[in-house]
Structure 1
Amino acid sequence: MEIDHVSRPRVLAIAEAANPEWVSVPLVGWSLATALREVAEVHIVTQVRNRDAFLRAGMVEGQDFTAIDSERLARPMWKLAERLRMGEGKGWTMVQAVNALSYPWFERLVWRIFGPRIRDFDIVHRITPLSPTISSLLAARCARAGVPFILGPLNGGVPWPAGFEAERRAEKEWLSHVRAAYKLLPGRGATLRQAAAILAGSRHTASEMPRAVQDKVVWLPENGIDPARFNRVATPGAGLRAAFVGRLVPYKGPDMLLEAAAPLLADGRLTLDIIGDGPMRPQLEAQAAGLPGVTFHGWQAHEAVQDVLARCHLLSFPSIREFGGGVVLEAMALGVVPLIVDYAGPGELVTAETGLKVPCGPREEIIAGFRSALEKLVADPTHLPGMAAAARDRVQRHFTWQRKARQVAQVYAAVQAGRPLTGLDLFA
């Protein structure tokens, strides 16, 4: 799609979490908000904790962005969430519940600054929070002012698969049993009704939207690739080499991978690189004791992850509850073929031409599926180069941040023109 630089929309991009020096949601917020500057006149609104990183990245405060100081409430609520989540990286449902209480204060401060001149903008786009559980008081206020409000990408809340209750408990996700109650929260219905468009980061999130707003829902996975960060092409050597990348926690399934790969590792038919750290590492190292060809690299910076992945044929990633699956896109960008569980984010990103999917079932079935896939690849790896090339092509066509900005620009254009969003395919 060609961008009309004469009629670029003026966009107020609200990204409470946006930081080029962090990972996960803050990196998504930063990457999308800044990529949109290619297709629109964008002013970014973020939380004050991100201010210094914005300045280090060359942004001009007041011109390119505004930092909102909501620390009076945000800081104590963050401390409360850290206490309630019962462990670093755990209890994400609890964290989102606390955010749902603190985020409205941030938006009140945003409106205090931008409300009097909201008509200076053609579109208000709330990029983060990504969670569909957090409503927005700005949606109705923008609608009353006649300024289209766009929400998303929204993602999260993928149900835990049956048979993984132990993993749920290990992640302190007891609140996930009642997560669906968020649909009854005050403001959710009004937020969705008043939004001009809702970007759904997953098919699951799209399916959770009420029928009355389905005509405003557009599927757009939230993750993307920065070609400057992942700019290599994998050149694996002889012999099948696989990698696991991620936190070493139960729901990511590194123990299932080791069990599946054990016979191939034992007789030297497979080499496995495990990149990441976490509470399961001692257990995994004990599980791998005596198996040749397994290397634990620990936590690595992005550049170093790329160096290890570029020596591999496969990303072997048996995570059973992955909302977005950014690591899958990163592997595909390098030409590393993903072998994943066909569930949630990774299952939506990987096609039959670009990777291998194992059905999501009980633990024993996933292990058997991964073992079978690995054995077939060892016996006949000839189709891997074609899949690797297709994976790289898919990322370049649809999942760089530049491409994603142009996809969002299609939504902007449809909203401004009053065209229906039903049937809008951003990947056509």
Structure 2
Amino acid sequence: MSERHPRILVIAEAAHPEWVSVPLVGWSLAQALRDVADVHLVTQIRNRDAILRAGLVEGRDFTAIDSEALARPMWKLAETLRMGQGKGWTIVQAVSALSYPYFERLVWQRFGPEIARGDYDIVHRITPLSPTAASFLAGKCARAGVPFVLGPLNGGVPWPQGFDDIRRAEREYLAPLRAAYKLLPGRGATLHNAAAILAGSRHTGSELPASARHKVFWLPENGIDPARFNRVAAPGDGPLRACFVGRLVPYKGPDMLLEAAAPLLRDGRMVLDIVGDGPMMPGLRAQADGPGSGVTFHGWQPHEAVQDILSRAHLFAFPSIREFGGGAVLEAMALGVVPLIVDYAGPGELVDDSVGIKVPLGTREAITTRFAAELARLAKDPGALAPMAQAARDRVTQHYHWTRKAEKIARVYDWVLKGRPEPKPDL
């Protein structure tokens, strides 16, 4: 007789099937866990309608917690302080760290009696992903004798030296002070009371204290839904075709890419698709020097259309200097588009020499020069990228589909509940 699935109360304050970034991570992982556990999702009220549209039944499959009395004014405060759409994320995280405990208190009011009664085998907090957000629930669960799993935690990648101008342009004024979060009340207790901690990046794992290392497991935050990214890249004959996908902001480096590619674009040895929008768009259009430049600006595209454009490329050219997770890199790999990235943070952890190309982190000039050299080399024979493209697809299928990630988390659940078998640190 097979053992029953564990009963998991999944806490994902951000879990939205129609959004991207953290809300999509929360939703995707919570849904994937339904294959390995009996899951009840607890999320914030703003996600309710989209979850209903996705087919879940309120009360049976999920519960929406209305914390808007504090969440709404705190979000407005964060928007005011960061003074720009899509900027000042450290400010947003700082303000969120002040408002999030209210959400957890409401969760405990609703589910505390059930947790204490043993109705759930594990409580697993997926979002917030930020390691700065302490959890009031961790101690409550520990006292009730119910294991609390935390993560994947990710964030806090330091700004690389030499890019302070970009940091200021992004209004990341609090970034130099970020390490102070380790002194915040509740952080130590959260880590102590967690039965297992999933680290979404090697960097985040390295910031955790030595006393917690025995229960830390590496699980990159991003994953791939094969139903959403199901094409296979077919760039065809012709010049090297590269694609950039992302917000058009300085730290993602679209201007560095255009500078590095300029000689190839002028000579017709390369074409470039740029997918995304942002404050740099007018300057990038001027830099590309108009129609016939070999560059196509597609602007913002719905998620399902991105793969149509990306799957025409040989190369995903992405000189970003600060990515926590690197979801766009995984999406390119899933299609069989070889990534060319800067070896730092999330993308640097996802890519090795068998599936992509990394240039060392350096000054702006150094990154641009190295990208130019790699592009020139690849333009001589784009077809030579095919074996690497296949290896990238295989890597994603084996390790980064949401179903695979859920299977790895199930091993952590098994370890937490039964003490066997102990997962490897990298799962």
Q: Shift of the alpha carbon at 1:117?
A: 1.1
Aligned equivalents of 1:187 and 1:49: distance in 2? 26
Counterpart among 39, 43, 48 of residue 40 in structure 2? 43
Q: Normalization by structure 1: what TM-score?
A: 0.97
Gap change, CA 1:179 and 1:194, over 3 Å in 2: same
* Aligned partner letter, 1:412: Y
Deviations 1:349-387 (A, max 9, x none): 112110000101111110011011111111233430000
Aligned equivalents of 1:421 and 1:191: distance in 2? 22
Q: Shift of the alpha carbon at 1:7?
A: 2.1
Alignment correspondent of 1:209: 208
Deviations 1:134-162 (A, max 9, x none): 00011011011111100000000100011
Q: Shift of the alpha carbon at 1:417?
A: 1.2
Aligned equivalents of 2:422 and 2:155: distance in 1? 22
Alignment correspondent of 1:368: 369
Q: Which runs of 5+ in 1 are unaligned?
A: none
Aligned equivalents of 1:41 and 1:258: distance in 2? 49
- Corresponding residue SS for 1:198: strand
| 8 A Cα contact 2:411 2:421, kept in partner | no
Pairing of 1:166-185 with structure 2 (within 5 A) = 166-185=165-184
Counterpart among 82, 85, 90 of residue 85 in structure 1? 82
* Aligned partner letter, 1:132: P
Counterpart among 61, 67, 74 of residue 64 in structure 1? 61
Alignment correspondent of 1:282: 282
Aligned equivalents of 1:5 and 1:355: distance in 2? 41
Q: Shift of the alpha carbon at 1:86?
A: 1.1
Aligned equivalents of 1:16 and 1:90: distance in 2? 21
Alignment correspondent of 1:113: 110
- Corresponding residue SS for 1:174: coil
* Aligned partner letter, 1:176: A
Q: Shift of the alpha carbon at 1:421?
A: 5.1
Q: Which runs of 5+ in 2 are unaligned?
A: none
Q: Answer yes or no: is 1:52 the counterpart of 2:49.
A: yes
* Aligned partner letter, 1:67: A
Q: Once superposed, what is the RMSD of the aligned Cα atoms?
A: 1.2
Alignment correspondent of 2:403: 402
Aligned equivalents of 1:71 and 1:354: distance in 2? 44
* Aligned partner letter, 1:327: A
Alignment correspondent of 2:273: 273
Alignment correspondent of 2:349: 348
Deviations 1:92-147 (A, max 9, x none): 00000000000000000000011111021000000000000000011011011111
Gap change, CA 1:97 and 1:286, over 3 Å in 2: same
| 8 A Cα contact 1:124 1:147, kept in partner | yes
Aligned equivalents of 1:396 and 1:384: distance in 2? 19
Aligned equivalents of 1:122 and 1:322: distance in 2? 34
* Aligned partner letter, 1:27: L
Q: Shift of the alpha carbon at 1:279?
A: 0.2
Aligned equivalents of 1:424 and 1:321: distance in 2? 25
Alignment correspondent of 1:254: 254
Counterpart among 76, 79, 85 of residue 73 in structure 2? 76
- Corresponding residue SS for 1:383: helix
Aligned equivalents of 1:202 and 1:394: distance in 2? 17
Aligned equivalents of 2:157 and 2:17: distance in 1? 26
| 8 A Cα contact 2:412 2:423, kept in partner | no
Gap change, CA 1:5 and 1:23, over 3 Å in 2: farther
Pairing of 1:120-139 with structure 2 (within 5 A) = 120-139=119-138
- Corresponding residue SS for 1:242: strand
Deviations 1:227-267 (A, max 9, x none): 11111001002211000000000000000000000011111
Aligned equivalents of 2:91 and 2:150: distance in 1? 22
Alignment correspondent of 1:264: 264
| 8 A Cα contact 1:215 1:420, kept in partner | no
Q: Normalization by structure 2: what TM-score?
A: 0.97
Instruction: Identify which range, 402-411 or 378-387, moves more after superposition.
Output: 378-387
Instruction: Identify which range, 413-422 or 298-307, moves more after superposition.
Output: 413-422
| 8 A Cα contact 1:74 1:102, kept in partner | yes
Pairing of 1:28-39 with structure 2 (within 5 A) = 28-39=25-36
Q: Shift of the alpha carbon at 1:418?
A: 2.3
Instruction: Identify which range, 354-363 or 285-294, moves more after superposition.
Output: 285-294
Aligned equivalents of 2:46 and 2:182: distance in 1? 30
Pairing of 1:89-100 with structure 2 (within 5 A) = 89-100=86-97
* Aligned partner letter, 1:202: S
| 8 A Cα contact 1:43 1:65, kept in partner | yes
Aligned equivalents of 1:279 and 1:425: distance in 2? 38
Aligned equivalents of 1:355 and 1:155: distance in 2? 23
Aligned equivalents of 2:142 and 2:246: distance in 1? 41
- Corresponding residue SS for 2:234: coil
Deviations 1:288-337 (A, max 9, x none): 11562100000001121111111100000000000000000100000000
Aligned equivalents of 1:65 and 1:264: distance in 2? 52
* Aligned partner letter, 2:252: K
* Aligned partner letter, 2:374: A
| 8 A Cα contact 1:217 1:421, kept in partner | no
Aligned equivalents of 1:85 and 1:209: distance in 2? 28
Q: Shift of the alpha carbon at 1:425?
A: 3.3
Pairing of 1:194-343 with structure 2 (within 5 A) = 194-238=193-237, 239-289=239-289, 292-343=293-344
Alignment correspondent of 1:191: 190
Q: Shift of the alpha carbon at 1:85?
A: 1.1
Gap change, CA 1:32 and 1:422, over 3 Å in 2: closer
| 8 A Cα contact 1:81 1:95, kept in partner | yes
